């Protein structure tokens, strides 16, 4: 299967590390000109140095009007938009404040809505485009320890389906990707917060999966590159008939035939 994204420009939000950086690396490897975004300019520069290809960076907080404006000024049009930016963390359900509910919604959902609203019209006019939303198994199997996070990922499934209808017949596809528990630096910290610091990492990972994610069929954390493979495919011309979907790369975590 040959994926060629030469001549296409892609923005991947939250791409200084983890899944976002893996997606950006995969898109660049396929020939796309890639824009990395994040709040830390130094971290973005370091990340860009490890990506082969046409890579630029735009630093700013996309949860703010100023950060969004900086990105749109620097990159007024794109062919591929991957809405990966997100925050997560454990919190007892009854202790989540109104401000925290709002913060999670604004960062995880509204940033993606704003960028889609900004970039989708140009994609439609040009007759080609790809919009993706990084959702999660938590969108379908809401975790008791972070229902505010799960709520935002459920919202992204609705947002994705709705914008896919807005793009109907235009040559633009819109999809969400349901990622399962993935091995990133942030997740390592999360795992440690739940199972402790005294176990070697491999043992800690297995213990986390056994206690907190027992329905995973992989029985291990997914590597970021495994998520990226699906995202690169969805960004390609080969995925022209896939739109309005919620596609799972979750290691069999969600115990259902459909999302």
- Residue (of 49, 47, 26) closest to 37 by Cα position: 47
pLDDT at residue number 22: 98
pLDDT at residue number 217: 93
Q: How many CB atoms lie within 10 A of CB 113?
A: 17
pLDDT > 90: percent of the chain: 89
Domains assigned to the chain: 9-182+225-249 (3.40.50.720), 188-221 (no CATH)
pLDDT at residue number 185: 83
Q: Are 136 and 153 in contact (CB under 8 A)?
A: yes
pTM: 0.94
Average pLDDT score over residue span 44-68: 97
pLDDT at residue number 56: 98
Q: What is the pLDDT of residues 158-210, one digit of tens each?
A: 999 999 999 999 999 999 999 999 998 888 888 999 999 999 999 999 999 99
CA-CA distance, 131 to 143, in Å (whole number)?
26
Instruction: Spell out the residues 6+ positions from residue 180 whose beta carbon is closer than 8 angstroms to its own.
Output: 136, 137, 216, 218, 222, 248, 249, 250, 251, 252, 253, 254
CA-CA distance, 257 to 244, in Å (whole number)?
17
Give the DSSP letter string of 206-252. HHHHHHH-TT-SS-SPBPHHHHHHHHHHHHSGGGTT--S-EEEESTT
Strand pairing class (172-179; 129-136): parallel
pLDDT at 67 over 90: yes
pLDDT at residue number 166: 98
Q: What is the pLDDT of residues 78-105, one digit of tens each?
A: 999 999 999 998 899 999 999 999 999 9
pLDDT at residue number 46: 98
Options 104, 119, 133, 149, the catalytic residue: 149
- Residue (of 58, 82, 48) closest to 227 by Cα position: 82
CB-based burial of residue 89 (10 Å sphere; 0-12 exposed, 13-18 middle, 19+ buried)?
A: middle
pLDDT at 259 over 80: no
The gap from C-alpha 172 to its chain's centroid, in whole angstroms, comes to 19
Q: How many CB atoms lie within 10 A of CB 203?
A: 11
Q: Has 104 been annotated as catalytic?
A: no
Task: Give, in degrees to the nearest 5, the angle at Cα 246 between 80 and 234.
Answer: 30
């Amino acid at each position: 299967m040959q994926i060629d994204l030469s001549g296409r420009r892609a923005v991947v939000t939250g791409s200084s590390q983890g899944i976002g950086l893996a997606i950006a690396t995969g898109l660049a490897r396929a020939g796309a000109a890639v824009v990395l975004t994040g709040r830390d300019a130094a971290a973005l520069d370091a990340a860009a140095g490890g990506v082969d290809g046409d890579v630029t960076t735009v630093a700013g907080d996309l949860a703010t009007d100023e950060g969004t404006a900086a990105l749109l000024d620097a990159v007024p049009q794109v062919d591929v938009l991957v809405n990966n930016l997100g925050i997560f963390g454990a919190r007892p359900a009854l202790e989540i404040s109104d401000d925290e509910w709002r913060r999670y919604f604004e960062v995880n959902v509204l940033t993606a809505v704003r960028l889609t609203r900004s970039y989708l019209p140009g994609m439609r006019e040009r007759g080609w485009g790809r919009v993706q939303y990084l959702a999660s198994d938590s969108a379908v199997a809401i975790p008791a320890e972070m229902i505010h996070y799960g709520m935002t990922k459920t919202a992204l499934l609705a947002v994705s389906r709705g914008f896919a209808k807005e793009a109907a017949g235009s040559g633009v596809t819109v999809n969400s990707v349901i990622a399962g528990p993935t091995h990133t630096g942030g997740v390592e910290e999360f795992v440690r917060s739940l199972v402790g610091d005294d176990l070697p990492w491999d043992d800690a990972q297995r213990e986390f999966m056994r206690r907190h994610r027992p329905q995973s069929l992989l029985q291990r954390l997914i590597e970021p590159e495994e998520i990226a493979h699906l995202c690169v495919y969805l960004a390609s011309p080969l995925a022209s008939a896939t739109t309005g979907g919620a596609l799972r790369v979750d290691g069999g975590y969600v115990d259902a035939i459909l999302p």
